[in-house]
Structure 1
Amino acid sequence: MPFPSLRRRIGRLATVASCLLLGGCGSLSYYAHVAHGQASLLMHRRPMAEVVRDPATDPGLARRLGLAAQARRFASDALALPDNRSYTSYVDLHRPYVAWNVFATPTYSVDALPQCFPIAGCVAYRGYFEQARAQARAADLKAQGDDVWIGPVPAYSTLGWFADPIVSSMLRWDDDQLAGTIFHELAHQRLYVKGDTAFNESFASFVEQEGLREWRKARGLPPPDPRDQAMEQGFTALVLGLRERLEKLYASTADAAMLARGKQAQIEAFRRRYVQWRDSRWSGDPRYDAWVGSPINNAKLLPFGLYDRWTGAFAVLFERAERQWSAFYAAVGALAKKSGTERTRDLERLATLSNPIGPVRQ
């Protein structure tokens, strides 16, 4: 189902331990919080094989972890992803999510207030292992006049610096989404460009999507339903269209009162476009209704587009590599070594080849 898939994508922006590695996260209290949260995960890991064999383990949990172990092995054997201890252990969090990300923008801007870390580079959020801390940070930013949104995080990655476990919040997804997340996070460990979120997430999303096709084929299952992906892409295009309209509004010379009215008018117009799109193209499918019906601000729009911007470009590279993973990774690695300007130029050219008519905005 695309709505859980979309929530999974938004929630995976979670390399909160990156600041732990070399410091530089601002206040000492935040550093201590992240260190404690990361240490807690490491301390409570249990090998998945041990959990599966334990007679006290719920049979449903044992089945899901057994499937995760198969997907983990497939990732290394068939997709040429790192063969290490990541996602070979399990942690029961005893809470609904592993972390919460705080996104923030100025009131009249669609650009994030960046958080910069030594290894991950600058990203659009700051992550917390405790919901109360995320809420306190959000309240402080809101009091300063910023737009704020808190995104719950079911999955978690340290980009390979630690042996990241499967956490219980990942098991809320179906089997495909669980396997796909393992492929996605291991792709980050295979290749990561500091400070280029769209490149990193699009690359990992392509590995996830193509890896999932191969995973299903190996298990004798049909390919994923293309309608699900089409609906998710269509909704993402609607949200990106709203963001573009707001960006143009904020670039105008209007005063604050006019900007406030224009902002609300654009959000309401988006809701009307959504209803028309939902009813005319998807027979009233309500899976995005809750997102659209809840409060919308600039910060809530930030995660969209990061995961899909360059997936078409990576698809072209994969075909050029004759669908061989090692050759594909070599081609992506060559792109990663280029300057940001050169890399973007090459990706734009490749994306045009994957979609000659260019991107669609609704």
Structure 2
Amino acid sequence: MGLALSACGTVDYYAHVAKGQGELVVNRRDVSKVLRDPSTDATTRQRLALSQEARRFATDHLGLPDNRSYTSYVKLDRPYVVWNVFAAPRFSVSPVQHCFPFAGCVAYRGYFAKQKAQAEAARLEASGDDVYVGGVPAYSTLGWFSDPILSSMMRWDDDELASTIFHELAHQLIYVKDDSAFNESFASFVQEEGLREWRQSRGLPPQDDHEKTMDDGFTWLVMDLRDRLKKLYASGVGEQAMATGKQQVIDDFRVRYVQWRDLDWPNDHRYDAWVNGPINNARLLPFGIYDRWTPVFLALFRHAEGQWPAFYASVRQFARQPYAQRQKSLQQWLDSTSRPTAAPP
């Protein structure tokens, strides 16, 4: 009975994903045609023209795949293209994993319809898991399809639009099954360094470090919260004490956040809504995935003297290693990032 239900659920999910991806394929239009269409509004025209400049820069200067991805456009009838459902046991900060034939195992499950994501979240919550649902404006099919520019990406500023194209194309270039932190940290580094070079090529000044510094500080606070919860869950105390302790650790985090904000970032309240909203294990899962190994990739890039082909060759050496060996190698590099003379594994 359980296997039959599981199989049925899997079939239904893949049918939903196939339908959603199929709709994107059917509804995409070449950007060149959208730009020539007199009914296209000026803002969309400007954003799409910029996206194509970024697309060419990605190939010509960053060494990213030269294909049809991000040369078409899809106007959605919703604010996000998919909604990701994250889940974790009530007393664990480890995600409920979902495994797929081509992408491998990841810490979430994506749905093209918000109501389906919410229904899955309700099912997981009823079984006792902590859950979190987050909207996603863009994603990569890892080269299986020609990914389009989406209307959900149009509300971003110029930097975010261009750098997201770099990020998603990086996934198409190098992707390792069952290692989300490696994949996202790599793509995030390409995104950040690519944006730096993109702005330089356009004669723009370097980005203001204020936002990144504040974002890094907030991420550290959340990661510290996750570490404290992890220690609590490993303590072996009873369930009631565990539940009480969990809430206390979260309450203490909120106090530390206010102290940090008021000391370092007075009058900047951009994270208040997140901190004051519901916090559980699942809501912490996205943090740390995107930047865990970025210092390693920065060190590799510097070792390659800023040459993208040599950098990618070093990254592929990591990618070919078995998971355990790769984690060890990455940690060794992370521990020695202050020594720029280190050689790739």
**TM-score category, normalised to shorter length:** over 0.9
The match for 1:347 is 330
Contact 1:312–1:355, Cα closer than 8 Å, also in 2: no
Shift of 1:349: 2.0
The match for 1:170 is 153
Among 246, 254, 269, the alignment partner of 1:271 is 254
1:286 counterpart = 2:242: no
What does residue range 1-362 of structure 1 map to in structure 2 within 5 Å?
Answer: 26-355=9-338
Q: Residue deviations 1:63-107, cap 9 Å, x none?
A: 000000000000000000000000110000011110000000111
Q: Cα distance 1:287–1:25, how it changes in 2: closer, same or farther (>3 A)?
A: farther
Q: Helix, strand or coil for the counterpart of 1:113?
A: coil
Could you tell me how far apart the structure 2 residues matched to 1:347 and 1:315 are? Answer: 12
Return the letter of the residue paired with 2:306: R
Shift of 1:296: 0.4
Q: Helix, strand or coil for the counterpart of 2:40?
A: coil
Shift of 1:353: 2.9
Q: Helix, strand or coil for the counterpart of 1:299?
A: helix
Could you tell me how far apart the structure 1 residues matched to 2:250 and 2:241 are? Answer: 14
Q: Gapped runs of 5+ residues in structure 2? A: 1-6, 340-345
Shift of 1:288: 0.6
Could you tell me how far apart the structure 2 residues matched to 1:223 and 1:210 are? Answer: 11
Contact 1:25–1:117, Cα closer than 8 Å, also in 2: no
Could you tell me how far apart the structure 2 residues matched to 1:101 and 1:25 are? Answer: 20
Shift of 1:230: 1.0
Contact 2:98–2:105, Cα closer than 8 Å, also in 1: yes
Shift of 1:29: 1.3
Contact 1:69–1:88, Cα closer than 8 Å, also in 2: yes
Could you tell me how far apart the structure 2 residues matched to 1:269 and 1:188 are? Answer: 37
Shift of 1:49: 1.2
Could you tell me how far apart the structure 1 residues matched to 2:12 and 2:325 are? Answer: 39
The match for 1:15 is none
Return the letter of the residue paired with 2:14: Y
Q: Cα distance 1:229–1:247, how it changes in 2: closer, same or farther (>3 A)?
A: same
Contact 2:176–2:182, Cα closer than 8 Å, also in 1: yes
Return the letter of the residue paired with 1:288: Y
Return the letter of the residue paired with 2:67: N
Q: Gapped runs of 5+ residues in structure 1? A: 1-23, 357-362
Shift of 1:25: 9.6
Q: Cα distance 1:51–1:66, how it changes in 2: closer, same or farther (>3 A)?
A: same
Relative contact order, higher structure (CA 8 A, sep 6+):
1
Q: Cα distance 1:142–1:342, how it changes in 2: closer, same or farther (>3 A)?
A: same
Shift of 1:157: 1.2
Shift of 1:254: 1.1
Could you tell me how far apart the structure 2 residues matched to 1:164 and 1:345 are? Answer: 34
Aligned residues: 333
Q: Helix, strand or coil for the counterpart of 2:84?
A: strand
Contact 2:140–2:172, Cα closer than 8 Å, also in 1: no
Return the letter of the residue paired with 2:88: T
Contact 2:143–2:172, Cα closer than 8 Å, also in 1: yes
Contact 1:25–1:31, Cα closer than 8 Å, also in 2: no
